[in-house]
Structure 1
């Protein structure tokens, strides 16, 4: 009886196990990955509906979804004070507003790529839900692109803001500084932006890299872009690109954009911008700070203080409050554009550990700073074998220098030594210079500047030659008595056939002040030339590689690129790039002819790595 029961129990268990195993779902091996994004199968009220009276709407999807970085990607226009609540229930997303909506207003809720499917994370790209609290839905649109003004690279994640015309209480130009925008958009990775559901009105356009996320231009380090005239959105119905289908089968075109000039704006200003209904093009820049600020004031090395100012500071005086001015206790050197100042301290004349410095401009205090005059003592660990322990030993301070003497130096280069402190004594008796098989003792060093910080070494280099400069200990002595460490500098030149030559024929469409910049692949300036009309530039001794050519329309003729000024309605100086990379080859002569218009804004032929 017991045996029969065990057989029966075992048989039932086996059948149950096999049945359960057959019912298990398994992911088929080798199948294609799901790349299909979720779709909206129903929205309540329907997308694009007028007469919205509640405080929420619902979206039902084709599959389960989650929200990814919704607070970063969500944009609601017109703007609301509080972001709505989001609630996921099954395949449904419920969006509930926390505040009363404006009457007779069309709202656009832009989700970006925040709605993704649960399994693979495929985003529903750039989805918007549009509704109106009035009896009709505004269907005008506006689009454009924002580029960085200096290098024409896309300005990603810039806030683009619209302000409605007709404000009577605040000056129109002051709106981005004092009033939240009425409509809001954000640029994508290509710098593109788009507004949908706009009312039939004139708008001011302003773009901002909003560092403190308050939708105001209130930080000097925030980048901006603007259109200097009002714009008007336009509804166009060309071949369909993207549509929203309402229940009454009325189609609302959202993506085909055009603009036209407001009647209140002079036509000649905007004809070039809106010709053929092209999208807006905006150039982002950081406005030059007009307020004098001390960006840095500190001891950067032995007996060296550096001051960095926000703008040229040649008219700023610096006085030591706690030290008399009677003795020569420091020497000064300004940068070429007067925004950086170096002080070289004299240890024997300076007896305080901390300087109390008061900076003044036109009898107004710029800043007061306290700077130590001594570096923290550095120690090195020295092992004593006999006592089998380590002891601290003070590190000896030495005079340091930099030089351009290195392997592969160009034969046309002038050799130099640049010192960290003013030099007062040179002992060249034991200095040795070797060029190939020739040796020269006690070579000549010529000071370049009045402080004797830089010395030229007048030697004419020849191609394909090895050189050696031997500097013995203490041959250069600074005004504090510090001296150099023994140094053996080995360098060489390459054969002339290792270099290439480039001739560039420049031909602007109209005469003006221009800067031609010859750039390496990292867009570092190698050479710069100023010209006004047709000109030819010869570039010799070029290392093989790819190079960029760039033009700056130097409107104010100050030999540098200048940013714009919003309140003065000054645009940043225009730039344009040559349409291709210039490949320089060894032992090769290359010629390029460039006919250009700086307002064509041709972008760099190479994309920057991020």
Structure 2
């Protein structure tokens, strides 16, 4: 009996001890925001004469690895991913590939090392070692920027190449071999290399879709410099952290973060070079049919990867000529719209040629599936079809410097507008004038001199317009209200380029939608009247080839993307105010 009593007490105490040993935060206590700290590593961080195939890092708390395959980088790259093994508060990294002799390696962990409870990351920790007699101690920094909108690019791979390949042209290395050193950009587009030798390098950035560290995919964006780069010695920042594993001037305790390794007041000084790489995607140089589809009844759309000026079509099951279809190109000429007359086939079979080569065969159903099913069931479609249209009048508002336009979805063959009218406040004009503004006769413009604070009504009766398939419009009624001049702002901009060439100035609204655009070459003053009161940005494009649009670069031809600038501040246009700015560039 006494034995059972003692056993019960022992079990009770054991449960208490187990409960006390469970590592939980005290109730109501502050949340742990401290990242794990490195206590020591074996061999020490920054060691030379590295002869083994593994190293171990010990921390001050239990840790785990999050997304190490995405976060981690080893430079120079190895063929096979190392094994990462966690045991308590230590991390062991074991290499599966033989290491190169007399080489400085850096193992970058990104944000992969986190504490086991709150997942606080030890950001940008790097372990450096050398298989030779000394550790290369130079560094190189910079940022990767989207060439079109100047936004920082996150998770781009940045690569350094040595000019030590005797069999391949130096410029071809990014297309054929893996880099010698590798880094990756952070959320601010920043990158840094440590442990570099005192040599000149080619600097290259890649949005690597297949993660093989080679530029071998058409959709991979790239950035490059026109000249070689050199590494520098970065002075370590002075910190209050006690250095434990101090084999390097940049230690475990400083975590090898570029903001920590360079004093803040010196970061933008000429002492440290900051390389800027402008990332762009190449234009597709292989013509492809991306899509062929029935856009709406009697309207086909062909989308190509390049301008379709050398594209030819050959119908296989029907003899198409200009009396059966008309074509229209998009502004970029990479999309072709076909407007068809009613054809005596349900599916149009086409061979599509690029110059003399057959590009593809397309089979396009001309009747929507639901209607085809109805035909098979011999049901009559009783829904009457009408000629569709839209106008540039949005929410019944038109700016005082705009003209009223109507666009029909098919070419117009006849019109009967004797009963149409235009009402201006209290006055009415019958059979108002209009003109077709395109060669297909799909778009009309109605010339109206708009005045402020006025009401305009436009009416075209049923069957006023007939398309070439015999469809007519339902009655068209458009109501227009014009605002007071006091509700608009005026923006005056004085531009002072230092070099005479072609430029494009864009006034950008929300989500960088182009509200106004202007082309110029020399000093000029641009006046934007009737501007809706809101905040705008100004974007400048250096239109080097004078084609009226921004162009990406080409690495193979060593062409950089066209330069882009943004004005230093937002333009706040207010109602009944005039804003004036100068920009010298």
TM-score after normalising by structure 1: 0.85
Following superposition, the deviation at residue 242 of structure 1 comes to: 11
In the alignment, the residues of structure 1 paired with residue 18 and residue 325 of structure 2 have an alpha-carbon distance, to the nearest angstrom, of 89
The CA deviation at 1:506 is 0.8
> What residue in structure 1 maps to residue 517 of structure 2?
528
CA distance in 1, matches of 2:51, 2:18: 52
User: Is contact 2:124–2:257 with CA below 8 Å preserved after alignment?
Assistant: no
Contact 1:47 1:245 survives alignment (8 Å): no
Q: Report if the CA contact (8 A) 2:43-2:56 is conserved.
A: yes
- Residue 37 (structure 1) shift: 0.4
Pairing partner for 1:299 from 290, 294, 309: 294
1:421 aligned onto 2:410:
yes
Q: Tell me, what secondary structure is at the counterpart of 2:512?
A: coil
Tell me, in whole angstroms, the C-alpha distance in 2 between the residues paired with 1:574 and 1:157: 23
The answer to whether the 8 Å contact 1:241/1:256 transfers is no
Contact 1:398 1:483 in 2 (8 A): yes
Of 143, 154, 157, the residue aligned with 1:145 is: 143
**Alpha-carbon shift at residue 405 of structure 1 (Å):** 2.1
Question: Quick check: 2:505–2:538 contact (8 Å CA) kept in 1?
Answer: yes
Equivalent pair of 2:236/2:250 in contact (CA under 8 Å) = no
1:281/1:110 CA distance change after superposition, 3 Å:
same
Whole-angstrom distance in 1 between the partners of 2:165 and 2:17: 72
| Farther-moved stretch of structure 1 (479-488 vs 559-568) | 479-488
What's the CA shift string for 1:487-522, capped at 9, x where partnerless?
A: 433331111110011111111233332222111132
Match in the other structure for 2:429 = 440
**Residue 480 of structure 1 pairs with residue 480 of structure 2:** no
Distance 1:173 1:107 in 2: 24
Task: Check conservation: 1:378, 1:395, Cα contact below 8 A.
Answer: no
Kindly tell me: are residues 60 and 154 of structure 1, through their superposed partners in 2, closer, same or farther at Cα, counting changes over 3 Å?
Answer: same
Q: 1:250 to 1:411 in 2, by over 3 A?
A: closer
After TM superposition, the structure 1 = structure 2 runs for residues 491-510 of structure 1, keeping only pairs within 5 Å, are: 491-510=480-499
User: Which structure 1 segments of 5+ residues have no match?
Assistant: 258-272, 382-390, 597-610
Residues 168-212 of structure 1, C-alpha deviations (whole Å, 9 max, x = no match): 111111111111122111111111111111223221111111122
| Mapped partners of 1:223, 1:590: distance in 2 | 38
Residues 400, 202 of structure 1: alpha-carbon distance in 2 compared, 3 angstrom cutoff? same
Alignment of 1:313-392 (within 5 A): 313-325=308-320, 328-347=323-342, 350-377=343-370
- Cα RMSD of the aligned pairs, angstroms, is 3.0
Q: 1:212 to 1:56 in 2, by over 3 A?
A: same
Instruction: State the distance in 2 between where 1:212 and 1:226 align.
Output: 19
Distance of 1:80 and 1:493 partners within structure 2: 67
Aligned pairs for 1:116-515 (under 5 A) are: 116-237=114-235, 239-240=237-238, 251-252=249-250, 276-325=271-320, 328-347=323-342, 350-377=343-370, 395-406=383-394, 407-515=396-504
Going by fraction, where is strand more abundant, 1 or 2?
A: 1
- Name the stretch that deviates more: 548-557 or 19-28: 19-28
User: In the superposition, relative to structure 1, how do residues 296 and 184 fare at CA in structure 2: closer, same or farther (>3 Å)?
Assistant: same
> C-alpha distance in 2, partners of 1:22/1:111?
34
Say if 1:546 and 1:582, in contact at 8 Å, map to a contact too.
yes
1:253-287 CA-partner distances (Å, limit 9, x unpaired): 76679xxxxxxxxxxxxxxx996542111101111
> Could you say what secondary structure the match of 1:377 adopts?
helix
C-alpha distance in 2 between matches for 1:90 and 1:432: 85
Q: Which runs of 5+ in 2 are unaligned?
A: 260-267
**Aligned equivalents of 1:217, 1:366: Cα separation in 2:** 26
CA distance in 2, matches of 1:345, 1:219: 38
Deviation at 1:589, TM superposition (A): 1.3
- The residue number in structure 1 matching 2:265 is none
Please give the alpha-carbon distance, in whole angstroms, between the structure 2 residues aligned to 1:190 and 1:95: 28
Counterpart for residue 266 of structure 1? none
Mark the CA change 1:520 to 1:241 in structure 2 (over 3 Å): closer, same or farther: farther
Whole-Å separation in 2 of the counterparts to 1:341 and 1:244: 67
Partner SS state of residue 155, structure 1: coil
Over 3 Å counting, the alpha-carbon distance change for 1:484 and 1:212 in structure 2 is farther
Answer yes or no: is the 8 Å Cα contact 2:44–2:247 preserved in 1. no
Counterparts of 1:577 and 1:243 in 2: how far apart (Å)?
40
Q: Encode CA deviations 1:84-106: one digit per residue, 9 max, x unaligned.
A: 11221111112122222112211
Counterpart in 1 of 2:543? 554
Contact 1:379 1:393 in 2 (8 A): no
CA distance in 2, matches of 1:244, 1:423: 82
Please give the alpha-carbon distance, in whole angstroms, between the structure 1 residues aligned to 2:380 and 2:353.
44
CA contact (8 A) 1:564 1:570 kept: yes
How many residue pairs were aligned?
560
Q: TM-score, normalised by structure 2?
A: 0.88
Give secondary structure in 1 for the equivalent of 2:58: strand
State the alpha-carbon separation in 1 of the partners of residues 234 and 312 from structure 2: 61
CA distance in 2, matches of 1:372, 1:574: 44
Q: Which stretch has the larger CA shift, 198-207 or 486-495?
A: 486-495
Question: Counterparts of 1:577-588 in structure 2 under 5 Å?
Answer: 577-588=566-577
Question: Is the 8 Å Cα contact of residues 138 and 231 (structure 2) preserved in structure 1?
Answer: yes
Cα offset for 1:566?
A: 0.6
- Provide the C-alpha distance between the structure 2 equivalents of 1:592 and 1:517, rounded to a whole number of angstroms: 14
Determine the structure 2 residue equivalent to 1:607: none
Q: CA deviation at 1:115?
A: 0.8
Bigger drift between 29-38 and 567-576 goes to 29-38
The answer on whether the counterparts of 2:489 and 2:529 sit within 8 Å (CA) in structure 1 is yes
